[in-house]
């Protein structure tokens, strides 16, 4: 990496959560956010000499991310059966129509604190599902419960975390789940 | 039907069935508030995945999970951040550090870029091969060699050229012409009679047992001879290495020129392409041929025609069209994480042979896909190149049996990158072995633990779909492919060797 590339990488790193937020808005498809961010990074670095990095990089990154998100979204969803494609289109429209701007950057920062405040069992569930890549049917088997129960438990954990984030961001108080 | 929470979870997990997708769609249309709930869960799900530590302390990584490691943005940014810190800490510090033990190195000083009708007395070399210091003995044909310092040399067989460094060679026999751009000024060619030092020019050299002559077509060269003062030779002049030799008129027409090699390369390419077309057309007469992509589709095509008598076309995702082995041969370039060709291979094969022409740019991933069945279970197959350079034919275990990795020894070293290679793999249940071939030569024979039929099914060229919608491992190929074929029989060594010519 030369000096210019290093600088470009630093600019990107400073905005990578912003990129993820934009990716989520334009491509609400599971697992796609990481791929989009990765691709934006690669394309941003490939053309680093073209960018004026002395000004705010957000408009540029937002445009790049939107284009790449749409492209990868189309590639990913068109492999799906018709019925899933229709659902995916519906969800994407919902995401685009939302008036609230992406708050991923702020929220993910607070989330880490909220996670520490989760009850032990909820934290274990998050670790198993999100960190150890154990699917809900396998978790259900391990804890001898129905898969639907695990799905609902994960849903409740996410809602608790959402509440904690909202509380923290709105009131500026300590994160509490 | 599951409740809304479960449907949302299945959406996030990528396990929605068609009927569940339909149900969730209906619910979203009828209950607008469910839409914002789903989006909130979706965002939280993405954030939770992003908080995953790179390594969870105290956890034992199961060997089976190791191949699933993902080339994540986190990995990229961590590496980028480390590189940034290192660069900012001071280039001097980086420069003073010893080279990491794992960094690839090369002894090459030049590369054979093109060749026409090449016949070698020394070991055969194909265009694209990097060249290390050593003796090249060309029996016939014209070879174009580009030295890393920038000089370009055409040698005409019969000739002998000893490569010394990226800016020096010795010619003991034959004719050569050299084009030396300003940045390669100082390029030296030694002969038994003396040395030519180039000052940024074009010149020809004709060396025989009796004499050595230099012809300057452009610029200026210096002639150095033992016991003689240095002579300067200018554009349009020629001179023999001899005491009291007088300048003569340069004769450019007696040396191979770039135009000549261009014309002869085009002719040679054309004839090889036509020979390939004729051989390729015969392949479909073999009823065991199940897939044959010759990559000769229209350049706007996004599907890849299967030339086998029966079978479906492939679907191109992301990969872009480029030039293949010859000017008229088309190929697909695989560069990005999304690039792939999706195809339908036989759902079951008692025996199998696969062959492809591929040019590898580098081994960017831990597993670099050549051909991979979707998923990894029940006799699915993964033909790939592992980052350390081994070619692997992996067979997933059926119920109750483990998988088997059939590996070659290290094959893809950096010297082999950027060159067209013919690769083939044979699954031979009768001999109970898997055999790997490269350019028609047997690379490895591996004893099969389980010779029961394979189940390739839906598969991808140059990538892998592991059937999950999240945390999908990235195994895309960095390279170019211009032919792929699959047979449900064992091809003989002679057949494979014939295809590789």
Mean pLDDT throughout B316-327? 90
For the cut 70, the answer to whether the pLDDT of residue A175 exceeds it is: no
Q: What is the pLDDT of residue B322?
A: 93
A126: which chain B residues are within 8 Å (Cβ-Cβ)? Answer: 48
- Residues of chain A contacting residue B42, judged by C-beta atoms under 8 Å apart: 24, 28, 30, 91
Q: Tokens 């608790």 correspond to what residue? A: A160
Please tell me the distance from the alpha carbon of residue B427 to that of residue B429, in angstroms, as a whole number.
Answer: 6
Peptide bond into A63 cis (omega under 30): no
Task: Report the Cα B356 to chain-centroid distance in Å.
Answer: 12
DSSP B135: E
What pLDDT score was predicted for residue B53?
66
Nearest to B88 among A6, A81, A115 (CB): A6
Q: What one-character DSSP code corresponds to residue B185?
A: T
| Residues 6 or more apart whose Cβ sits within 8 Å of residue B8 | A155, B24, B37, B38, B41
The CATH code of the domain that includes A165 is 1.10.10.10
Which member of B6, B42, B76 has the closest CB to residue A148? B6
Would you say residue B280 has pLDDT above 50?
yes
Q: Which residue of A5, A104, A138, A154 is the best one to mutate when testing the B interface, meaning the one whose CB has the most B CBs within 10 A?
A: A154
* Beta strands, E only, B180-211: 188-191, 194-198, 202-207
Please give the average per-residue pLDDT across B366-395, as a whole number.
Answer: 92
Indicate if the pLDDT at residue B70 is higher than 50: no
Mean pLDDT (whole number) for B386-415: 87
Q: Is the pLDDT of residue A119 over 80?
A: yes
Residues A87 and A7 in one domain: yes
Closest residue of chain A to B75, computed from CA coordinates: A38
Question: Of the given ranges (A153-167, B65-79, B374-388, B462-476), which has the lowest mean pLDDT?
Answer: B65-79
Q: Which residues from chain B sit within 8 angstroms of residue A114, using beta carbons? A: none
How many Å apart are CA B120 and CA B61, to the nearest integer? 52
Q: Are A89 and A109 in a shared domain?
A: no
B110-256 and B276-499, same CATH topology:
yes
Task: Provide, as residue numbers in chain A, all residues whose Cβ is less than 8 Å from the Cβ of B43.
Answer: 24, 104, 107
Residue B265 confidence (pLDDT) above 80: no
Q: What are the DSSP calls for B247-271, one per residue? A: -EE--GGGS--HHHHHHHHHHHHHH
Q: Would residue A118 count as lying in a domain?
A: yes
pLDDT score for A97: 81
Is residue A27 predicted with pLDDT exceeding 80? yes
Please check the confidence at residue B119 and state whether its pLDDT lies above 60: yes
In this complex, the residue of B16, B38, B45 whose CB is nearest that of residue A84 is B16
Any idea which of B22-26, B147-151, B239-243, B344-348 has the lowest mean pLDDT? B239-243
The answer to whether the CB of A119 falls within 8 A of the CB of A156 is no
- What is the spatial distance between Cα B299 and Cα B113, in angstroms, rounded to a whole number? 26
Contact at 8 Å (CB) between A163 and A135?
no
**How high is the pLDDT of residue B380?**
93
> Taking 90 as the threshold, does the pLDDT of residue B345 lie above it?
yes
Same-domain status, A75 and A138: no
B12 Cβ under 8 Å from any chain A Cβ = yes
Backbone angles phi, psi at B359, to 5 degrees: -125, 115
Do A49 and A126 reside in the same domain of the chain? Answer: no
Residues 218-277 in B contacting A (C-alpha not used; CB under 8 Å): none
Task: Give chain A's mean pLDDT.
Answer: 84
DSSP states along B271-324:
HHHHHHHHHHHHHTT-TTEEEEE---S-TT-SEE-B-SSS-PPEEEES-EEEE-
CA B41 – CA B27 distance, rounded (Å): 16
Quick one: three-class SS letters along B360-405? ECCCCCCEEEEEEECCCCCCCEEEEEECCCEEEEEECCCCCCCCEE
Paired tokens of B9: 């979870």
Q: Are B353 and B283 in contact (CB under 8 A)?
A: no
Domain edge (last residue) among A65, A97, A129: A97
Task: Give the pLDDT of residue B495.
Answer: 94
pLDDT at A173 over 90: no
Of A47, A70, A97, which residue sits at a domain end? A97
Best residue in B57, B58, B80 for a mutation probing chain A (most A CBs within 10 Å): B80
Chain A residues with CB inside 8 Å of B87's CB?
1-3, 6
Is A111 a member of any domain?
A: yes
Distance (Å, rounded) from C-alpha A20 to C-alpha A38? 10
Say if residue B227's pLDDT is above 80.
no
Question: Would you call B6 and A152 a contact, using CB atoms and an 8 Å cutoff?
Answer: yes
CA distances from B97 to A5, B78, B92, B161 (A): 21, 21, 9, 37
Phi, psi of B78 (to 5 degrees): -65, -45
**Closest partner residue to A162 among B3, B44, B49, by Cβ?**
B44
Confidence check: pLDDT of B26 > 60: yes
Residue A42 has pLDDT above 90, yes or no: no
Q: How many CA atoms lie within 13 A of B50 on its CB side?
A: 29
Residue A82 and residue A18 share a domain = yes
- Where exactly are the structural domains of chain B? 4-50, 110-256, 276-499
Same domain, residue pair A147 and A112: yes
Instruction: Report helix angle A58-77 to A82-97, nearest 10.
Output: 160
Q: Is residue A65 part of a domain?
A: yes
State yes or no: pLDDT of B216 exceeds 60.
yes
pLDDT digits (tens, 9 = 90+) for B405-448: 999 999 998 878 888 999 999 999 999 999 999 999 999 999 99
Q: How far apart are CA B199 and CA B238, in angstroms?
A: 15
pLDDT tier at B72 (50, 70, 90 boundaries)? Answer: very low
Average pLDDT (B348-355) is: 96
Q: Please state the rounded mean pLDDT for residues B63-73.
A: 32
| Counted domains in chain A | 2
Mean pLDDT of B111-133: 85
B478's tokens: 């960095």
Write down the CATH number for the domain with range B110-256. 2.60.120.1440
pLDDT at A171: 64
Give the domain extent around A76. 3-97
Please give the CATH architecture assigned to the domain spanning B276-499: Sandwich (2.60)
**pLDDT over 80 (residue A89):** yes
DSSP 8-state secondary structure symbol assigned to residue B57? T
pLDDT at B138: 94
Task: Average the pLDDT over B331-350 and give the result.
Answer: 91
Instruction: Look at residues A97, A114, A148 and tell me which one is the last residue of a structural domain.
Output: A97
**Residue A93 and residue A118 in one domain:** no
Note whether B31 contacts A: Cβ–Cβ < 8 A.
no
Overall average pLDDT of the B387-394 stretch? 92
SS3 A51: coil
With bands split at pLDDT 50, 70 and 90, how would you rate the model's confidence at B104? low
Residue of B nearest to A68 (CA): B338
Q: Report yes or no on A139 lying in a domain.
A: yes
Q: Sign of dihedral through CA atoms B31, B33, B36, B42?
A: negative
- pLDDT at residue B323, rounded to an integer: 92
Mean pLDDT for chain B overall: 83
* 3-state secondary structure labels for all residues of A120-150: HHHHHHHHHHHHCCCCHHHHHHHHCCCHHHH
Q: Which of A68-72, A123-127, B71-75, B179-183 has the lowest mean pLDDT?
A: B71-75
% of chain B beyond a pLDDT of 70: 87
Tokens standing for B475? 């195994």
Share of chain B above pLDDT 90, in %: 39
Q: Is B470 on the interface with A (CB under 8 A)?
A: yes
Residue B97 has pLDDT above 50, yes or no: no
A87 shares a domain with A7: yes
Looking at the fold, whether A80 and A54 belong to one and the same domain comes out as yes
Residue B193 CA to residue B216 CA, distance in Å, equals: 17
Q: In this structure, is residue A176 part of a structural domain?
A: no
CA B398 to chain centre: 32
Stretch (H or E) spanning B137: strand B134-147
Give the per-residue pLDDT at B84.
Answer: 45
Give the residue from B326, B28, B227, B165 showing the smallest Cα distance to A88: B28
CATH number where A14 lies: 1.10.1740
Max Cα–Cα distance, chain A, nearest Å: 57
Cβ distance of B49 and A98 shorter than 8 Å: no
Residues in chain B: 501
> What distance lies between CA B101 and its chain's CA centroid?
24
Whether residue A162 lies inside any domain: the answer is yes
B283-292 residue pLDDT tens: 989 999 999 9
Does A71 map to a domain?
Answer: yes
Residue of B49, B338, B469 lying closest to A72 (CB–CB): B338
């Amino acid at each position: 990496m030369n000096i210019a590339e290093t600088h470009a990488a630093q600019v990107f790193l400073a905005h990578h959560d912003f990129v993820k937020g934009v990716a989520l808005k334009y491509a609400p498809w599971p697992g796609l956010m990481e791929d989009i961010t990765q691709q934006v990074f690669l394309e941003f670095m490939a053309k680093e000499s073209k960018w004026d990095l002395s000004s705010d990089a957000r408009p540029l990154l937002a445009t790049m991310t939107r284009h790449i998100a749409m492209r990868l979204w189309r590639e990913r969803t068109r492999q799906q059966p018709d019925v899933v494609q229709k659902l995916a289109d519906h969800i994407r429209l919902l995401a685009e129509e939302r008036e609230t701007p992406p708050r991923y950057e702020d929220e993910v920062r607070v989330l880490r604190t909220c996670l520490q405040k989760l009850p032990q069992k909820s934290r274990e569930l998050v670790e198993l599902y999100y960190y150890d890549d154990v699917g809900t049917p396998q978790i259900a088997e391990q804890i001898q419960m129905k898969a639907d129960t695990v799905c609902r438990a994960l849903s409740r954990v996410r809602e608790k975390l959402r509440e904690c984030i909202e509380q923290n961001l709105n009131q500026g108080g300590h994160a509490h789940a | 039907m599951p409740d809304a929470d479960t449907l949302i979870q299945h959406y996030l997990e990528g396990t929605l069935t068609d009927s569940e997708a339909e149900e969730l769609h209906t619910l979203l249309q009828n209950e607008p508030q469910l839409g914002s709930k789903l989006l909130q869960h979706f965002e939280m799900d993405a954030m939770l995945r992003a908080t995953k530590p790179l390594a969870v302390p105290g956890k034992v990584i199961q060997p089976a999970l190791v191949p699933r490691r993902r080339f994540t943005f986190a990995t990229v940014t961590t590496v980028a951040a480390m590189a940034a810190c290192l660069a900012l800490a001071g280039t001097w510090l980086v420069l003073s550090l010893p080279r990491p033990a794992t960094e690839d190195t090369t002894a090459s000083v030049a590369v054979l870029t093109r060749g026409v009708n090449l016949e070698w007395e020394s070991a055969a070399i194909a265009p694209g091969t990097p060249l290390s210091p050593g003796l090249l003995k060309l029996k016939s044909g014209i070879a174009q060699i580009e030295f890393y310092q920038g000089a370009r040399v055409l040698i005409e067989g019969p000739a002998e050229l000893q490569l010394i460094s990226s800016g020096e060679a010795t010619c003991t026999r034959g004719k050569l012409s050299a084009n030396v751009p300003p940045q390669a000024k100082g390029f030296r060619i030694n002969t038994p009679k003396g040395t030519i030092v180039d000052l940024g020019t074009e010149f020809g050299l004709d060396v025989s047992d009796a004499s050595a002559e230099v012809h300057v077509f452009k610029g200026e060269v210096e002639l150095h001879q033992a016991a003689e003062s240095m002579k300067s030779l200018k554009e349009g002049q020629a001179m023999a290495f001899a005491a009291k030799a007088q300048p003569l008129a340069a004769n450019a027409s007696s040396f191979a020129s770039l135009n000549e090699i261009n014309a002869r390369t085009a002719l040679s390419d054309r004839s090889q392409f036509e020979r390939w077309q004729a051989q390729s057309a015969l392949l479909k007469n073999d009823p065991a041929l199940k897939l044959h992509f010759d990559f000769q589709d229209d350049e706007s095509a996004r599907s890849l025609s299967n030339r086998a008598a029966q079978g479906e076309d492939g679907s191109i995702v992301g990969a872009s069209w480029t030039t293949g082995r010859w000017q008229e041969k088309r190929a697909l370039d695989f560069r990005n994480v999304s690039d792939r060709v999706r195809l339908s291979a036989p759902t079951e094969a008692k025996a199998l042979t696969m062959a492809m022409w591929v040019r590898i740019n580098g081994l960017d991933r831990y597993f670099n896909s050549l051909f991979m069945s979707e998923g990894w279970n029940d006799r699915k197959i993964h033909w790939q190149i592992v980052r350390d350079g081994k070619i692997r034919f992996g067979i997933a275990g059926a119920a109750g049996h483990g998988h088997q990795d059939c590996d070659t020894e290290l094959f893809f070293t950096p010297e082999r990158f950027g060159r067209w290679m013919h690769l083939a793999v044979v699954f031979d249940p009768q001999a109970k072995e898997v055999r790997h071939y490269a350019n028609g030569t047997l690379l490895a024979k591996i004893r099969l633990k389980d010779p029961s039929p394979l189940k390739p099914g839906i598969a991808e060229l140059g990538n892998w779909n592991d059937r999950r919608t999240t945390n999908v491992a990235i195994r895309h190929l960095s390279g170019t492919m211009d032919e792929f074929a699959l047979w449900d029989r064992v091809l003989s060594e002679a057949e494979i060797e014939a295809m590789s010519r």
